[in-house]
Chain A
Amino acid sequence: DVVLTQTPPTLSATIGQSVSISCRSSQSLLHSNGNTYLNWLLQRPGQPPQLLIYLVSRLESGVPNRFSGSGSGTDFTLKISGVEAEDLGVYYCVQSTHAPPTFGGGTKLELK
């Protein structure tokens, strides 16, 4: 199975600070059809996960544009440009290029 390694495991930020989360894959996530099936989820405390970004860099409808995704192959990054209080929670990357779909271990974003 593909292993996704997220760093850091915990991130402390102040409101307005910009932060980045890394997701590294044990295999290239470029599918033979040219797509890269790497998505980002946010799980707020006590809530189910929600989709933030799909296909590496495309924002899900309704997600603020302070979120952005980038990367290719095995290295991917989620950036938040100006953290807001509602952004606190655990961020997960998830791949579905290779079966079975697998999740990163999560990055907990908390207030400093």
Chain B
Amino acid sequence: EVQLVESGGGLVQPGRSMKLSCAASGFTFSSFPMAWVRQAPTKGLEWVATISTSGGSTYYRDSVKGRFTISRDNAKSTLYLQMNSLRSEDTATYYCTRVDRLIRGFDYWGQGVMVTVSS
């Protein structure tokens, strides 16, 4: 059974940093691109970043470029999101998702972790 378990969220002040982790199991982690998708309170879904299987290619939405870094450790089957210079508009539930290359879609989702940026 595919499982994605996020951790590392919480309350953080504007301008500070936070690192999210996502522990994957139930599939060959190194064979799948992975992504982070977020959802602001009572809002819709918004793609944040994607990383290739090797980690050699990364993609970001414009609003987080230069502030967020997606990375992965295939030996540990873990996905990360380093978030720097956090803003109030980054407040959201962050979901770790697996990307199926054939359908280019997000086929499995974690339960999500809440990040609140506030003073």
**Residue ranges of A at the interface with B (Cβ–Cβ < 8 Å):** 37, 39, 41, 48-51, 54-55, 58, 60, 92, 94, 96-97, 99-106
Contact = CB atoms under 8 A, between A and B. Distances in A.
B111 interface: yes
Contact of B105 (A48, A51, A100, A102): A51
Contacts, number: 54
Contacts of A55: 103
Nearest to B50: A101
B27 interface: no
Contacts of A58: 103
Contacts of B61: 100
Given A48-B110, A99-B59, A54 B45 contact: no
Interface of B: 44-47, 50, 59, 61, 95, 100, 103-112
A48 B107 contact: no
Contacts of B110: 48
Given A37-B103, A48-B111, A106 B95 contact: no
Contacts of A103: 44-47
B7 to A, nearest CB: 15
Nearest to B95: A48
Nearest to A51: B107
A33 to B, nearest CB: 10
